[in-house]
Structure 1
């Protein structure tokens, strides 16, 4: 599973990282730090919860 993020749409709510800090890394300003994440095995449910927590809906889950 991969996570794709539209970084330009991130407004810094940081809800993804609040739900799943192991998966969603923020930069020093509190915005999502990367555009794509390879989700580690066993962390899929957590990654999905983090994606659903984003009020801007800029996080897309890509199933393998």
Structure 2
């Protein structure tokens, strides 16, 4: 997922390039992007759980 984000013009690529410009190596910047993507997935899972628990009307 991170490699695809870097390959195309996405917000992930912008984030990766910003980390590289800050002096991080390719591996370090990629690790940061992976962590950011994992955080996004986790927050989405939490939101899905909350919405599935709410009563539907």
Fold conserved between structures, TM > 0.5: no
More helix by share: 2
- Structure 2 length-normalised TM: 0.32
Give 1 or 2 for the bigger CA radius of gyration.
Answer: 2
Please identify which structure carries the higher strand content: 1
Larger relative contact order (CA 8 Å, sep ≥ 6): 1
Q: TM-score, normalized by length of structure 1? A: 0.29
